[in-house]
Amino acid sequence: MVTQYQYQSPVVRNSATAHLTNTMRLIEKTCVELEAEIAKELADNPVLQLVDQHQCPECRRPVDRFPCPHCEARRRRSDLDEPIIYLSPRSAALTPVRLARDDTPFVSRVRQPETLREYVLRQLVLDLAADERSIAGHILDRLDERGFLTDPLVEIAVYLHVLPSQVERVLKLIQRADPVGIGASGVRECLQIQVEVLEAEGVAHPLAARVLSEHYELLGRHEYGVIARHCRVSIAEVESAAHFIRRNLTPFPARARWNDDDGSQERYFNPDARITRNPYNPDGPLVVELYTPTAGSLRVDPRIRAAVKKVSDEEQRAEWAEYVDRAALFAKCIRQRNNAMRRILSVIVDRQRSFILAGNSELIPMTRAELAIVVDVHESTVSRAVAHKTVALPSGRIIPLARFFDRSLPVREAVRSIIDMETRPLTDEQVSVVLKDYGYEVARRTVAKYRSMLGILPANVRARQYAAV
């Protein structure tokens, strides 16, 4: 295998291979990342030219506004049966993200969708000294999927060669940042932190903190009577504290906000494409706006190309010719990337129309491999194209492109609706039986998995909740 080719590399030894590698690399990039990539290349390569900021990237006609009126006019046509895709400069649709000037790891590495790690870091930037940032980053990297930090504090300090007290300070900040309680050592500490923070915000229950710190085990076993005796208060008061805890605290803050499926809490920004209905033909094919990082298109500056040929000095000419080749290569790769994205999106939007319009339960299972065959690209290309990217749906929701390939989403949706409609708590086994009527053959164990993914408590606990009401 050829070593990773870099644009900075002075010599393009094998242009065919380099071309492939580069296209792959670019397909992986989200629109925002590509914007940075292009900016860098434009700065590095004097031959590369961004032509006509007022040119439609789709039809190449000069335009004074986006979306391009000509392309928009195409949307009026109702005789098309394929999704309409047009390229649109992101800057025309969205406020551009300010690109980081310095190379602080957390700004420049921002990917979409925004991860918990970045979300938390952004909140803390101002509170952290430069050397504390790397501590914060390390801690956030080490969180398990529940959002807890299982490594001992001292171990982290040793690993990073810093004082434990420093790590402690950073950890404290993280624990109190927005998904309150992440970075705790376990559920118990997590809940205690949440109570603390809520108290500071003026939301408090007289007994909650005490019950949590002194009678955590009993609370888990719902032994309210015993707790009441210990604290010398009535059972009703303990129950009210328990209710407060259930109501206001979450044992898994990371999961509640980030790994949920219901969409209400998703925090994705800067989509790579936007899907809308065709206003002129609402029942016709959907319209996809595929965002491109730049207005206009990239090309080799023709004046320079001509001038290079006339350079008499052999060595000089070779050097410039290299720039020309590299610029041409880069422009071609960008075009190819956009083209691949377009073809892939077109098929996805065509197939998943009802999912896009109606919601999770309508998702038609499809694999990246299938799509690769239809679009006639390698499956790894599809993988790269959908990785890390997000699309805005007509509803305004922004979802990861990879969600279109989630086989179990409709089943999970069914699980949710079955439990929503239940009159008495159904056990996982019973849910599994009901699912059969819906046409989903799912093992009991799998129902349990989906249920926990949805953040729905087990049947026996739900029974208590109903009783409490």
Partner DNA sequence: CTATGGCACGGATT
Partner DNA sequence: AATCCGTGCCATAG
Q: Which two tokens stand for residue 269?
A: 């920004």
Can you spell out the DSSP letters for 304-373?
A: HHHHHHH---HHHHHHHHHHHHHHHHHHHHHHHHHHHHHHHHHHHHHHTHHHHHH-GGGPPP--HHHHHH
CB of 231 to DNA, least distance (A): 20
Q: Which member of 368, 389, 391, 410 binds DNA (CB under 7 A)?
A: 368
Q: Which is nearer to DNA, 125 or 369 (CB)?
A: 369
Among 441, 465, 466, 468, binds DNA (CB under 7 A): 441
- List the one residue from 107, 448, 454, 455 that touches DNA (CB under 7 A): 448
Q: What is the DSSP string of 215-268?
A: -HHHHHTT-HHHHHHHHTS-HHHHHHHHHHHHHH--S-HHHHHHS-SSSTT---
> Which is it for the CA torsion 261, 288, 284, 372, positive or negative?
negative
Cβ 112 to DNA shortest distance, Å: 17
Structure tokens at 340: 């691949």
Q: Which of 444, 465, 466, 468 binds DNA (CB under 7 A)?
A: 444
Q: Segment contacting DNA (CB under 7 A): 21-29, 153-161, 175-183, 451-459?
A: 451-459
Q: With contact defined as beta carbons under 8 Å apart, do 412 and 453 qualify?
A: yes
Least distance from DNA to the Cβ atom of residue 171, Å? 24
Both structure tokens of 386: 């959908």
Is residue 346 within 8 Å of residue 85, measured between CB atoms?
A: yes
Please identify, among the stretches 100-108, 156-164, 197-205, 436-444, the one whose residues bind DNA according to the rule CB under 7 A.
436-444
Look at the block and give the residue holding tokens 């940032």: 133
Burial class (CB in 10 A: 0-12, 13-18, 19+), 64: exposed
Whether 188 contacts 194, CB under 8 Å: no
Cα–Cα distance, 245 to 194 (Å, whole number): 10
Strand partners, 300: 48
CA distance 135 to 170: 7
Count the residues of the shown chain that bind DNA, applying the rule CB under 7 A.
30
User: Which residue's CB is nearer to DNA, number 86 or number 404?
Assistant: 404
Q: Which one, 145 or 155, has the nearer CB to DNA?
A: 145
Give the per-residue contact string, 173-212, with DNA (x = CB under 7 A; - = no): ----------------------------------------
Tell me whether residue 91 or residue 259 sits nearer to DNA (CB atom): 259
Q: Which is nearer to DNA, 368 or 389 (CB)?
A: 368
What span, in angstroms and rounded, lies between the C-alpha atoms of 113 and 267? 7
Q: Which of 339, 458, 465, 466 binds DNA (CB under 7 A)?
A: 458
Per DSSP, 278 falls in state -
| Residue 459 binding DNA, by CB under 7 A | yes
State the residue for tokens 């309150």: 180
Q: How far apart are CA 287 and CA 277, in angstroms?
A: 6
Stretch that binds DNA, among 49-57, 200-208, 274-282, 435-443 (CB under 7 A): 435-443
Matching residue, tokens 């990342």: 33
Beta carbon nearer to DNA, 157 or 448: 448
**123 vs 185 by CB, closer to DNA:** 185
442 near DNA, judged by CB under 7 A? yes
Q: Which stretch binds DNA (CB under 7 A): 100-108, 132-140, 160-168, 453-461?
A: 453-461
Given candidates 53, 339, 452, 465, which one binds DNA under the rule CB under 7 A?
Answer: 452
Closest to DNA by CB, 61 or 445: 445
| 219-258 footprint of DNA as x/- string (CB under 7 A) | -xx-------------------------------------
Quote the least distance from Cβ 221 to DNA, whole Å.
Answer: 4
299 phi, psi to nearest 5 deg:
-160, 170
Which amino acid is it at 201? E
CA neighbours within 13 Å on the CB side: how many for 256? 12
Q: Does 91 bind DNA (CB under 7 A)?
A: no
Distance CA 31, CA 273 (A): 9
The answer to the question of residue 260 lying near DNA (CB under 7 A) is: no
* Closest approach of DNA to the CB of residue 3, in Å: 18
> Which residues in 369-408 contact DNA (CB under 7 A)?
369, 379-380, 383, 405-408
Q: Between 131 and 441, whose beta carbon lies closer to DNA?
A: 441
449 is a contact residue toward DNA (CB under 7 A): yes
Note every long-range contact of 445-450, with CB atoms under 8 Å and residues 24 or more positions apart, other chains counting. Answer: 447/415, 450/408, 450/411, 450/412, 450/415
**d(C-alpha 211, C-alpha 207), whole Å:** 6
Which residues would be at the binding site for DNA (CB under 7 A)?
Answer: 220-221, 367-369, 379-380, 383, 405-408, 411, 427-429, 441-446, 448-449, 451-452, 457-460
